[in-house]
Amino acid sequence: MSSIDLITDRLVLRPWPAEEAAAVVAGERRPHWAADFPADGERMIAGLLTRKPEQPHGHRLMIERETGLTVGGIGLKWPPTDGSVEFGYGVVPSRRCRGYTTEAVRALVAHAFTLPGMVLVYATVDPTNVPSVRVLEKAGLRRDGVVDSDEGPLHRYVAEPR
C-alpha cells in the first residue's frame, strides 16, 4: 500500500499516521483539526486502524491546503478482492458543499487504478443520501446496480479506468 500524499488543487490526502488515529480514539483534540473533526465516520475508521495497526490500509486524512486543517477522511477498504476495491469518504459539516469530496474522490480513484492488478474501484451509497450520490456522479462514477446490506439496499457506483 502506497504511503505517498495525494495532492489536489485544494487538498492533501495523507495516509493516517498511527498517532492521529490514536488521538481520535482517545478523544483528544489536535490544533490542526477543523473544529468539527472528527465526525462519526472518522471515529469508526480510527478505531479500526488502532485495532489492526500492523495491517496495510488505504485510509487517508483530507487536509485543506489553504489552512492546513484536517477536514475529513477518505479511503480504500483494503485489501482488494480479485482486483476490486471499495472506497468510502466523509467531510466535516463545516467544509461540505465546497466540492472537496468530489475532488478527493477523483484523486483517490485515479490513485487506486495505479495499484497492481486493480480493475474495479467502487463505492456503495444509500440512494436517499442525495449529496453523496451527487459526489459520485460529479466524480465520474456510474451507477452499476444494487447491493444488499445490513442497512438495506445500497446503490453501487463504479469508476472506469482512465
Strand partners, 12: 7, 63
Position 101 in a domain: yes
Q: How far apart are the first and last CA of the chain?
A: 20
Predicted pLDDT of residue 55: 65
Give the total number of structural domains in the chain.
Answer: 1
**Nearest C-alpha neighbor of 71 from the set 47, 49, 95, 43:** 95
pLDDT tens digits along 62-98: 999 999 999 999 999 888 889 999 999 999 999 999 9
The three-state (H, E, C) secondary structure of 21-36, written as one string: HHHHHHCCCCCCECCC
Q: What is the pLDDT of residue 146?
A: 95
Question: What is the value of pTM for the model shown?
Answer: 0.93
Q: Please give the residue range of the domain that contains residue 49.
A: 6-159
CATH number where 105 lies = 3.40.630.30
**pLDDT tens readout for residues 18-43:** 899 999 999 999 999 999 999 999 99
In a domain, 10, yes or no: yes
